[in-house]
A and B are shown apart, each in its own frame.
Chain A
Amino acid sequence: MAANGFSEEVVIAGFGGQGIMLAGKLLAQTAMKAGKEVTYMPSYGAEVRGGTANCMVVIAEREIACPVVGNPDSLIVMNKASLAKFGPRLKKGGLLIMNSSLIDGRPEMDESIEIIALPADELAVELGNKKAANMVALGAYIKKRGRLNIETAADALPETIAERYHKTLPVNTAALNRGAEFASRGS
């Protein structure tokens, strides 16, 4: 794939109410802002708070064929059930970002897979809003993968979040940065 530039397939999963779709949309918006090709595909079943939710984002330098991701290069999981469902599908050499606030221990994965376990819920609570855990995880992903900038993601927030929630822009920006910091420092 090197000749055609990079192509990255991401699955973000958790339970309804964790902001899974928002994280995916922000990632897609960020990629578009950075001039990339991108597709975003939500699961659109009867999602309710507490049910399962996931979305698939494909980012590439060239036209994207299929928006449906079978085996992701990167996986962001916010709860245990999502890790069980999507963990086995993660590609060898892939990146796993997991919310250790809700997932105990280290999962058994192929040793080629890089794992970042971060207490996204606790970190978000420290910043003043537990709901920003999705942004903490996304920030860690963006920093670790290094294809996109945290600044671009922060810039994309106002276009991604409905205007009536724009008072949450500062905490979401802080959460993106906190996640990025965790990814580079490990704490």
Chain B
Amino acid sequence: MSTAVNTSKKKNEAQKQKASGETDHRILMCGNEALAESAIIAGCDAYFGYPITPQNEVTAYMSKRMPEEGRVFVQSESELAAINMVFGASATGKRTMTSSSSPGVSLMQEGISYLAGAELPAVIVNVMRGGPGLGNIAPSQGDYFQATRGGGHGDYRTIVLGPSSVQELVDCMQLAFDLADQYQMPVIVLADGILGQMMEPVVLEKKPGRKLPSKDWALTGAKGRQQNIVRSLWLAEGALERLNYKLQGRYEQIQKDEVLCEQYGVEDADIVVVAYGIAARIVRGAVTIAREEGIKVGWIRPVTLWPFPSEQISKAADELRIFLTVELSMGQMVEDVKLAISGKSPVVFYGRPGGGVPTVDEVLDKIRQLTTKRKI
């Protein structure tokens, strides 16, 4: 892709600008290329992937940039192969990732479960498209259940990040690699066709990373030390149960420490709209107009979809408010909103499935309808 060539050049220009002390370090990039470059900045050693719309630019970009950096790029023969290559690279202690879109991520679920079972860090990007089945290539949020409920077989979780701008996508990639290494588990970055395709100005820079545990479990050749074993098969009596308790302990820690969410205008709100990713952008547009009309409405935007900001939402529901959840699906995150609220406040839903994108006006109308309901 011609844009990939241009972009690495642009990045150099941006760095030069920065060095010369000019203030604007922004470069214009589409989400797919920006997340790829951010992964490189985060120290991704190996990328494995198989093309699928609407995330092809990730694979295309990596095919050029990873070899430039002396790192590994493989276009695998299938998504199944890609995720298992990720497993292999991760087992050697390397930072590794794959990316795909909905049908491709379905194919990866077995591998993700094995990663969880073997306690291996990995970053998986899903630029969601319409489903079920082969579906279409339009933007969607139909994979929320799959991403936040483990997705594959077994009793496991994945951390799920749901960015809503190209800049946040960039920031999420670096966070995702750190979280994966810290908790030794797969982390999913859940984007959608709009975020992948749209261009926005971004600042690409290395954020200060976390202090991470050493990867003393990695398969690096056992010379001079005891052999390490990476596996997800535990047949001895009680062994698998012990592994699951260990994982559970980790998951509880994550729920305590890693929740991220953003909110606006909730304090005086009669209506609170909950949305993530691109839906949150549409909601923000609608809420801004509704506020100008004098409607007391705010929003809560989960950034981590697992761990889910249940506490923040529950707190907002301590006062009686109407909660409106907006998604590009027929209602998936809304179940987590309802669990968080536990019947304290009414929860209504608005969404469009199969690649349909709600407009600002549609969401605004829904908000206006709820206002009249509240008066009654």
Contacts and interface: CB of A to CB of B under 8 A. Distances in A.
| B is a partner of A | yes
Interface of A: 25, 28-29, 32, 35, 37-42, 44-46, 65-68, 70, 159-160, 162-164
Contact of B26 (A32, A44, A45, A67): A32
A70 to B, nearest CB: 4
A44 B282 contact: no
B198 A40 contact: yes
A38 B5 CA distance: 22
A37 B282 CA distance: 17
Contact of B137 (A35, A38, A44): A44
A29 B197 contact: no
**Nearest 10 A/B pairs, CB to CB:** A162-B2, A65-B285, A66-B285, A40-B199, A65-B284, A70-B359, A41-B198, A32-B201, A44-B197, A66-B282
A65 B137 CA distance: 23
B53 A39 contact: no
B204 to A, nearest CB: 14
Given A67-B198, A70-B360, A159-B6, 4 more contacts: A67-B281, A68-B282, A70-B361, A163-B5
Nearest to B23: A35
A123 B307 CA distance: 58
* Chain B at the A interface: SS class: helix
B288 interface: yes
Nearest to B24: A35
Contacts of A38: 28, 200-201
B6 A37 contact: no
A29 B28 contact: yes
A39 B360 contact: no
Interface string B1-23: 01101100110010000000000
Contacts of B193: 44
Contacts of B197: 41-42, 44
A76 B215 CA distance: 55
Nearest to A39: B200
**Most A C-beta atoms less than 10 A away, residue of B2, B28, B288:** B28
Given A44-B193, A65-B284, A68-B194, A39 B2 contact: no
B28 A28 contact: yes
A65 B279 CA distance: 10
Nearest to B136: A45
Contacts of B284: 65-66
B54 A44 contact: yes
Contacts of A66: 281-282, 284-285, 360
11 contacts: A35-B24, A39-B199, A44-B197, A45-B137, A65-B284, A66-B285, A67-B194, A68-B194, A68-B357, A70-B359, A162-B6
A44 B28 contact: no
B24 A25 contact: no
Interface string B281-312: 11011001000000000000000000000000
Given A66-B281, A67-B194, A40 B28 contact: yes
Contacts of A163: 5-6, 9
Contacts of B198: 39-42, 67
Interface in B338-372: 357, 359-361
Contacts of A65: 281-282, 284-285, 288, 360
Contacts of B201: 32, 37-38
Contacts of A40: 28, 198-200
Interface string B184-214: 0000000001100111110000000000000
B37 to A, nearest CB: 16
B294 to A, nearest CB: 16
**Most A C-beta atoms less than 10 A away, residue of B6, B13, B24, B357:** B6
B203 to A, nearest CB: 12
B197 to A, nearest CB: 5
B358 to A, nearest CB: 9
Contacts of A25: 28, 199
A40 B285 CA distance: 16
